Amino acid sequence: MNAKVQIQFPEQSIPFYTHTQLLDAHTIVLETTTSIQTLIDRIDKSITFLKTSYENVLHPSTFTELESLISIARYLSNDFCNTFDVQLENYKNSVTETKCDAGGFLDLYGLAHEFFNWLSSLIFQIKDELRTVKQTSKALCDAVFASLENLINIADYYSDNHRNTFKIEFEKFEAEWEATKNG
């Protein structure tokens, strides 16, 4: 009696990711945050240039609100950049296993999405304040503000695009994480 026995192994119910994949995710989040930090610094330099170049035409308080918003954006970007940098270094130093699950990505992408969500809102306020500055500075033509406006538009696009990307990644890993907890 030679019966053939077929053994079926259950499908892997919990997807695993490599150390390198999570390391890459940490690196992408840090580099993205560093890039927006650079844009914010450049916007700040552009405001300072306008303020000093046209101090004889503009009231000293013209850029006060804009500078305050930039200061908040700079603080947020520096804080989150430091946070992501520390997380990356901690991850590099603490990983002993070669596989990880969706939970490792979930926290990272959740925090990145939250940061870029805040930053997108803040950049919208910066754009709005620049409109106000342009309206109150009738002595200057719009071309004077073109470079600053372009930098703000780039930062707006960049932050909004990455906010959406990190949201998609967060939702993907959140669904996967919930499925592994319940399944």
The domain limits of the chain are 18-54+96-182
Q: Is the pLDDT of residue 144 over 90?
A: yes
How distant, in Å, are the alpha carbons of 7, 61, 69 from that of 133?
Answer: 73, 10, 13
What are the backbone angles phi and psi of residue 17, rounded to the nearest 5°? -125, 155
Strands 99-100, 17-18: pairing kind: antiparallel
Query: CA 183 to CA 179: how far, in whole Å?
Result: 6
Position 137 scores a pLDDT of 87
Query: CA 169 to CA 172: how far, in whole Å?
Result: 5
Mean of pLDDT over the chain: 89
DSSP 54: T
Q: Is the pLDDT of residue 163 over 80?
A: yes
Q: Is the pTM of this model over 0.75?
A: yes
SS3 124: helix
What are the backbone angles phi and psi of residue 130, rounded to the nearest 5°? -65, -40
90-130 pLDDT, tens digit per residue, is 888 876 666 778 888 999 999 999 999 999 999 999 999 99
Tally of CA atoms within 13 A in the half-sphere of 72 that contains its CB: 14
How distant, in Å, are the alpha carbons of 55, 69, 120, 125, 182 from that of 146?
Answer: 18, 19, 20, 17, 53
The model's confidence at residue 9, banded by pLDDT at 50, 70 and 90, is: very low
Position 6 scores a pLDDT of 58
Q: List CB contacts of 34: < 8 A, sequence separation 6 or more.
A: 81
Share of the chain above pLDDT 70, in %: 89
How distant, in Å, are the alpha carbons of 85, 106, 145 from that of 77?
Answer: 12, 20, 24
The amino acid sitting at 176 is: E
Max CA pair span of the chain = 103
Q: How far apart are the first and last CA of the chain?
A: 39
